[in-house]
Amino acid sequence: MTDIYLGADRATDAEAAAVDAALRSRGVDPVVRPETERLYTSGTARRRERRHFLLPALHALQNEAGWISPGGINYVAEVLDVPPAEAFGVATFYDLFRTEPPAHDGDTFHVCVDAACQIAGYDDLAASVRAAGGHVHLGPCLGQCERAPALFVQGAGGRPDHVPADDEPFELPQAGDESLRLLRRIGVADPESLESYLAHGGYRALRRAGEMGAEAVLEAVAASGLSGRGGAAFPTGVKWRAVAAETGRPKHVVANCDESEPGTFKDRIVMEQDPFAVIETMTIAGLATGAQNGWIYIRGEYPLATARLQGAIDAARAAGLLGKDAAGTGHDFDIAIWRGAGAYICGEETALFNSLEGFRGEPRNKPPFPTTHGLFGEPTAINNPETLLNVLDIILEGADAYRTRGTERSPGTKLLCLSGKVGRPGLYEVAFGTTLGDLLELAGGISGNGELQAVLMGGAAGSFVGPDSLGLPLTLEDTRAAGTTLGSGVVMAFDTSDDMTDVVVRIAEFFRNESCGQCVPCRVGAVRQHETLVQMQRRGSLSPARRALIDEMAEVMVDASICGLGHTAASAVRSALALGLIASAPSR
């Protein structure tokens, strides 16, 4: 429903063809034409039907031309009924989209500058890429912290995106460990083969769920005590039941595969190595909640995971495990994949909805909550892959058996992303209650100079703990009591040679760059916080007034920001100050 006004710029044939192909692959006829010369369909309904194809269309333009040109925007605007100013506003929201002509023809080499890569020396990697003639873009965490420093190659001229490290064979540190639950198929089943997945117990849970019926599944999930593994730890059973209770409107299951919390890579490995499990558990969620529409929103820097998930969807659909009467459960369910384009904030569930719907990835105020007003304003169950994977055991062995692992208030196992100065960085699965010290030992102990300085728990939005916390049991309740968090499962170790001021200033810069800009406390607060820390770094000290200012800024960000990004933007900074990791440290 717009008064589309297009400037004079026109798309190149290649740009138009790229957009057309992207839309056709999603079942959209890209051709703009009246039905006859005297009849034309437009209006609100058409606009609503098309808007959410904006992100895929912009990806197509970026990939084709290396940027999103005025002509390209106009083409997309006309085809999708999106005003050019809005399409531009959306394009400029994302790190992976450029709206100025590139100075180079080739691919863009994204090098991560966040904590794990910072202490692993990302600048050496960047220098070597430049020396080889590559165009380097320094950016935020790429979700490959276990193999820092991380590199992601964004293709242009139609070349696909690519992560060089994906070419190496994958190895799970705990391979062969009989106690693995969520990770038990990894390295065992072939992620590109449905037969292999089935041979390793795949789709037994969905069939069982079909026999149990939605109500029994909801009961089991509630009884299991499963809670969200993205950081907020909301009870999954409550969420699913709330969606199931909604009637009369289309409903959705969204897999939040936008993990972007610096230090986090667990979902990437799950999706790359066990994609069918994500698809199966989403289907179970659809069955339980009565939702027929499944969506995977995956961060744009995960090309291998995207390809494997797409392969799994295609294979499942061909085998009747998706689509009408999926797997003979009597429930219709299908899944589509939408790629993000480089925005940490889109991991926030309501920002994710906006992004998927073709708007700027700005969080919505809550209430209302996604269970009633989620994707397209409709009831939505949104979970990340790790959370979803737990459902397999809950269905197959029952809630009681599930609860034999972990603690009373934190049942089950937890995936943890170990990075930084540990002997064997990588993805680990342990039962809740394992101590931090035991976990670090499992990962080969502290590397570097061997002297632990601090551990960043939960990522940039989490907090630092010191060596005195090695006895901390890793449960929701114990970490909360200790004033820290498991968050998304980040456990990043620093040895005493690491410059924590550099690390903390970078964390502050990360929030400054990733704030969506919508609300004042976060938009300005994140900038002022970073400025204050830069000032501290330059001076080598922090005056009492500036120290107090950091707390004052933190307070308004926590109290008055719209979403979790603002709420947590000062968390790591304040913990570093409290631990004396910065400011009071001897100037270097």
Q: Rule CB under 8 A: say whether 553 interacts with other proteins.
A: yes
Q: Which residues of 128-159 are buried (b: 16+ CB within 10 A; e: fewer)?
A: ebeeeebbbbebbbbbbbbbbbbbbbbbbeee
The CB-of-83 to other proteins minimum distance in angstroms stands at 3
Q: Nearest-CA neighbor of 349 among 444, 483, 259, 443?
A: 259
The values of phi and psi at residue 273, to 5°, are -100, -20
- The answer to whether 380 and 253 have CB atoms below 8 angstroms apart is yes
Q: Rule CB under 8 A: say whether 132 interacts with other proteins.
A: no
Q: Rule CB under 8 A: say whether 524 interacts with other proteins.
A: yes
Q: Rule CB under 8 A: say whether 541 interacts with other proteins.
A: no
Q: Rule CB under 8 A: say whether 517 interacts with other proteins.
A: yes
Q: Rule CB under 8 A: say whether 150 interacts with other proteins.
A: no
Q: Rule CB under 8 A: say whether 12 interacts with other proteins.
A: no
Cβ within 8 Å of residue 282, ≥6 positions away = 253, 255, 294, 296, 333, 335, 388
- The answer to whether 378 and 252 have CB atoms below 8 angstroms apart is yes
Q: Rule CB under 8 A: say whether 519 interacts with other proteins.
A: yes
Cβ distance to other proteins smaller for residue 414 or 567: 567
Q: Rule CB under 8 A: say whether 10 interacts with other proteins.
A: no
Which residue stretches of 454-519 are H helix?
476-481, 500-514
Cβ distance to other proteins smaller for residue 149 or 230: 230
Cβ distance to other proteins smaller for residue 76 or 254: 76
- Beta partners for residue 36, in sequence order: 39
Q: Rule CB under 8 A: say whether 433 interacts with other proteins.
A: no
Select the span of 38-46, 215-223, 302-310, 374-382 touching other proteins (CB under 8 A). 38-46
Q: Which residues of 545-575 are buried (b: 16+ CB within 10 A; e: fewer)?
A: eeeeebeebbebbbeebbbbbbbbbbbbbbb
Cβ within 8 Å of residue 582, ≥6 positions away = 500, 501, 504, 533, 536, 576
Q: Rule CB under 8 A: say whether 435 interacts with other proteins.
A: no
Q: Rule CB under 8 A: say whether 574 interacts with other proteins.
A: no
Count of residues engaged in binding other proteins, rule: CB under 8 A: 67
Q: Of the candidates 78, 86, 192, 397, which one interacts with other proteins according to CB under 8 A?
A: 86
Q: Of the candidates 283, 350, 413, 515, which one interacts with other proteins according to CB under 8 A?
A: 515
Q: Rule CB under 8 A: say whether 124 interacts with other proteins.
A: no
Strands 413-420 and 490-495: parallel
Q: Rule CB under 8 A: say whether 562 interacts with other proteins.
A: yes
Cβ distance to other proteins smaller for residue 272 or 509: 509
Cβ distance to other proteins smaller for residue 281 or 529: 529
Cβ distance to other proteins smaller for residue 48 or 324: 48
Cβ within 8 Å of residue 390, ≥6 positions away = 182, 224, 226, 229, 236, 402, 412
Cβ distance to other proteins smaller for residue 52 or 405: 52
Q: Rule CB under 8 A: say whether 40 interacts with other proteins.
A: yes
Cβ distance to other proteins smaller for residue 53 or 265: 53
Q: Rule CB under 8 A: say whether 3 interacts with other proteins.
A: yes
Q: Rule CB under 8 A: say whether 233 interacts with other proteins.
A: no
DSSP string, 375-407: GGGS-EEEE-HHHHHHHHHHHHHHHHHHTTSB-
The vertex-88 CA angle with 103 and 138, nearest 5°, equals 45
E-strand stretches of 398-502: 413-420, 426-431, 452-457, 463-465, 490-495
The CB-of-164 to other proteins minimum distance in angstroms stands at 28
- Beta partners for residue 334, in sequence order: 293
- The answer to whether 38 and 66 have CB atoms below 8 angstroms apart is no
Q: Of the candidates 73, 244, 307, 351, which one interacts with other proteins according to CB under 8 A?
A: 73
Select the span of 282-290, 387-395, 404-412, 546-554 touching other proteins (CB under 8 A). 546-554
The CB-of-69 to other proteins minimum distance in angstroms stands at 9
SS3 66: coil
Select the span of 210-218, 346-354, 483-491, 560-568 touching other proteins (CB under 8 A). 560-568
Cβ distance to other proteins smaller for residue 310 or 513: 513
Q: Of the candidates 155, 560, 574, 585, which one interacts with other proteins according to CB under 8 A?
A: 560
- The answer to whether 73 and 100 have CB atoms below 8 angstroms apart is no
Strands 334-339 and 380-383: unpaired
Number of Cβ atoms within 10 Å of the Cβ of 12: 15
Sign of the dihedral through C-alpha 34, 39, 41, 43? positive
Q: Rule CB under 8 A: say whether 540 interacts with other proteins.
A: no
Select the span of 248-256, 327-335, 438-446, 506-514 touching other proteins (CB under 8 A). 506-514
- Beta sheet of 490-495, edge-to-edge order: 426-431, 413-420, 490-495, 452-457, 463-465
Per-residue contact flags (x/-) with other proteins for residues 360 to 389, judged by CB under 8 A = x----x-x----------------------
Cα distance between residue 281 and residue 294, in whole Å: 11
Cβ distance to other proteins smaller for residue 385 or 462: 462
Select the span of 108-116, 189-197, 372-380, 527-535 touching other proteins (CB under 8 A). 527-535
Cα distance between residue 278 and residue 322, in whole Å: 13
Per-residue contact flags (x/-) with other proteins for residues 46 to 65, judged by CB under 8 A = x-------------------
Residue 215's alpha-carbon distances to 211, 220, 237, 370, in angstroms, are: 11, 9, 11, 20
Q: Rule CB under 8 A: say whether 89 interacts with other proteins.
A: yes
Cα distance between residue 379 and residue 391, in whole Å: 20
Q: Rule CB under 8 A: say whether 534 interacts with other proteins.
A: yes
Q: Of the candidates 531, 578, 580, 584, which one interacts with other proteins according to CB under 8 A?
A: 531
Q: Which residue has the tokens 């064979």?
A: 169
Per CB under 8 A, residues contacting other proteins are 1-5, 7, 34-46, 70, 73, 83-89, 92-93, 99, 343, 360, 365, 367, 512-521, 523-528, 531-532, 534-535, 538, 549, 552-553, 555-556, 558-562, 567
